[in-house]
A and B are shown apart, each in its own frame.
Chain A
């Protein structure tokens, strides 16, 4: 089966080469970080988490794409998603892999990572996040691989696969919830101290994950002759639209509580995020970009005339993806630290090596994704009849 990976057009080879170059640059920068320490990043005593954990949080959301196709297909027998479940699951696998890399590369002493297993600490949410993320990774890997193989041999998936799929649904919800709890359980960081954190995570995840999945499907349609089906795309677009609207609604709700209550320890961080404090406004253009993108995307996705044109749909989905990346990334991570518990305003700017390491992990994610998608497409082609998938 793997020999299929070596066969491909010019564009495919150029894409793989491009990813390998990006990954190579990331690896070199990581070696510098490994030997020098995290001091090569823009993080500081005051802003002790940065770009890595911002991306980690966002990609936990992307991993949700699987559940948004798996759930309608397996629980509600929504047939149109039949062709997409494997792609959704492999997207989840790649996203979770990226999450694990982001967290690991953020450690000051990465070689001691097994201490998390050797000294399990149930009181730490990070411990539980490791548990649910690795479970989700293993589940999706087994499920997608098994179904792909069954499809290849023209067999029905084994009954245990269905059980694993059913288990993977609550586990998918749990990875967002537990990741949100990492932040929302900290009394010291009032920016994160909101019960709305986990619902906000879920809502934005159900927008960003499926948005990326649709984009990937459209790319495969254009370059690999894969047809996801009109109904599947339409339904996924609806999911993105309403998840996006709920995300924006949650944001407004949050803003109301913070500004109407006038509690300084809640307001000050939103002031930094939305308006800047004393000329310190590194995140202000980013957050307003997000707000503009949200509104534009909602308009484009709600109006039938625009959302039914594929090119405009693509624009809308790209807006959703970028807006959610900012919102669940830097805009979530950084304001919690500014100002510091001692009132200091230390701004955070990622350094070049930090950006390259981050891009390197994106490269690894896309490479893994490309490999899985290429294999799935090859199997589909081999079997011929795509509609009999599972």
Chain B
């Protein structure tokens, strides 16, 4: 085989690239996949939440505060850059298909709690190009902050606006004291409610449910016939957000 100068340079280039690429690749691709989390899941479990509408006293933010605290959620003034896991919205915006001009003003503006619905058929996990968000066997839709590349495809896919993106470094906005039991996030990743999976692991219930002293929030396993959530859902009229989307949300609203 005859090798001229040009051919030699081409081959040398390819060889050098071949040697250089794997280490470069490795250094860029380092991730901390949380395999330990998936092993926690159990089949025969489908975790869900029930929210009783219209029971919250005016101005009560106990559940929201508890969530913000245990998850080190930054308090950012700029609404465009806010991080929200659980918060309130007007009834008319949470259930837009229920609108009618005859509904009283006070009901239209009734605050309703919203959070990630931990859908049975989540569109966010379907679109993630790196499997940074996935549904666990017990029904929790998880987020891996270390793998997320920040493409925000999941935010476009979520019909509920439940996902927040860190438009800057959130750490300066986390209120002291920082809770060492849950990681703070970095800029450029998406986050959302995780049904307090880190607390469930320790046998605790979600922080918001624990913090509510008015009986507005219930949490449990829908597959368990004796669970409170199963009883509430099976014997009461409940609604779910955008139920026509086929996402099968697991946050039920008692009316």
Q: Is A261 an interface residue (CB 8 A)?
A: no
Tell me how many residue pairs across A and B have CB atoms closer than 8 Å: 156
A46 on the B face (CB < 8 A): yes
Contact (Cβ within 8 A) B152 A124: no
For B126, give the chain A residue with the smallest CB separation.
Answer: A123
Q: Which of B84, B123, B165 has the most CB of A within 10 A?
A: B165
Cross-chain contact A109 with B96 (CB below 8 angstroms): no
Contact B130 A186 (CB under 8 A): no
Which of B127, B152, B160, B246 lies in contact with A125, CB distance below 8 A?
B127
- Assess whether B81 is in contact with A39, with CB atoms less than 8 Å apart: yes
Main SS class of interface, B: loop
Specify the main secondary structure of chain A where it touches its partner: loop
Q: Tell me if A107 counts as interface (CB < 8 A to partner B).
A: yes
Q: Which of A108-123 contact B (CB under 8 A)?
A: 108-119, 121, 123
Contacts A107-B188, A121-B129, A341-B160; A43 near B89 (Cβ below 8 A): no
Contacts of A115 in B (CB 8 A): 29, 31, 129-130, 132, 147, 149
A107–B79 contact, CB under 8 A?
A: no
Category for how many chain A residues contact B: 35 or more
> Known: A114-B28, A126-B151. Contact between A108 and B166, CB under 8 A?
yes
Residues of B within 8 A of A110 (CB): 149-150
Do residues B149 and A116 form an inter-chain contact, with CB atoms below 8 A? yes
| Interface mask (A28-50 → B, CB under 8 Å = 1, otherwise 0) | 00000000111100011110110
Do residues A119 and B130 form an inter-chain contact, with CB atoms below 8 A?
yes
Contacts of A48 in B (CB 8 A): 152, 155-156, 165
Chain A residues within an 8 Å CB radius of B129: 115-116, 121, 124, 126-127, 130
Q: In the complex, how many angstroms separate the beta carbon of B134 from the nearest chain A beta carbon?
A: 10
**In the complex, what distance in Å separates the CA atom of A2 from the CA atom of B84?**
54
Q: A107-B150, A114-B25 are in contact. Are A188 and B80 (CB under 8 A)?
A: no
Whether A188 lies near B165 (C-beta < 8 A) is no
A344 within 8 A of B: yes
Does chain A have a CB within 8 A of B114? yes
* Known A108-B149, A121-B131, A126-B129: A344·B93 in contact at CB below 8 Å: yes
Q: Any chain A CB within 8 A of the CB of B161?
A: yes
* Contact, CB under 8 Å: B153 / A124: yes
Cα distance, A115 to B132, chains bound together (Å): 9
Report how far A182 CA is from B156 CA in the complex, Å. 10
- Complex CA distance for A36 and B132, rounded to whole angstroms: 22
Please give, as numbers and ranges, the residues of chain A lying within 8 Å of B80 by CB-CB distance: 44-46, 346
A126 CB to closest chain B CB, in angstroms? 4
5 new A-B pairs (CB below 8 Å) besides A119-B130, A187-B245?
Answer: A39-B168, A49-B152, A113-B28, A341-B158, A342-B114
